Structure 1
Amino acid sequence: MRSVVHLSSGDEAEQETALAVAENMLADESDSIDEVAVVAQSGGIEAVTADGEYADRVRSLLDDGVPFKGCANTLETASLDESDLVDGVETVPEGAVEVTRLQNDGYAYLRP
């Protein structure tokens, strides 16, 4: 199974939950999870900024093979640059389109 976690809220509790979901899925011992991806947009982009509260957790998940994708539209709206993101976070033109693409590719959609 493959899952995409949609990180779209600026709420810290939701950001915490989204990252915990990704971590828990990786730790699942049933071997039923093949891949977990995280798409950050809107207020959720803050969770993947290099100076953000969750930067170390994002780096750890990236090191464990979880792809993170940040919405370029959100970056522009928030006056952020790609260099403001944790190294390894890939930018995509539109977060919602990326979530839809991943769903079309067989990823289950999760939004805490």
Structure 2
Amino acid sequence: MNENPTPGSGLVVHGTGPAPEAWLPAAMRTALNAAADLGEGAAVEIVVQGPAVALLTAAQGPAAQLEDLRAAGIAILACGNSLRSAGIDEGDLAAGVGTVPAAVGHLARRQWDGWAYMRI
């Protein structure tokens, strides 16, 4: 369809739960597919919550996939509360991974602003 979104809207993909080795790559592929289909000007974010934030560190991060996301203009964001629970400093995150203080608050604000929500 490729219609332009309403200004200020976008898609937020929420990743959480067990087996992050399976769902994180799926969330990344889904976000890339969504960005391609929604077209230029559509904002897309992936918010990672829970123990999966460890997969976003420079030591474990999927560098090639993160580069693909950045090239497509997709933001990947780690939950600050989850980082703290996992004992991970923001500086340990792979290049290009941002943070939000709390995934739950960020997700709520995005939805209040009219963004679409998808959980993987």
CA RMSD of aligned residues (A): 2.0
| Equivalent position SS for 1:80 | coil
The total of aligned residue pairs comes to: 111
- State which structure, 1 or 2, has the greater radius of gyration over its C-alpha atoms: 2
Structure 2: distance between partners of 1:78 and 1:23: 27
Q: Structure 1 residues 81 and 18 mapped into 2: Cα distance closer, same or farther (>3 Å)?
A: same
Output the amino acid matched with 1:105: D
Structure 2: distance between partners of 1:47 and 1:103: 26
Other-structure match for 1:24 = 33
Other-structure match for 2:75 = 67
Structure 2: distance between partners of 1:106 and 1:32: 18
Q: Structure 1 residues 53 and 88 mapped into 2: Cα distance closer, same or farther (>3 Å)?
A: closer
Other-structure match for 1:13 = 22
Q: Structure 1 residues 77 and 107 mapped into 2: Cα distance closer, same or farther (>3 Å)?
A: same
Identical counterparts, % of pairs:
34
Runs of 4+ in 1 over 4 A off after TM superposition: none
Other-structure match for 1:46 = 54
**Stretches of structure 2 lacking an aligned partner (at least 5 in a row):** none
Output the amino acid matched with 1:8: T
Deviation at 1:67, TM superposition (A): 1.4
TM normalised by structure 2 equals: 0.80
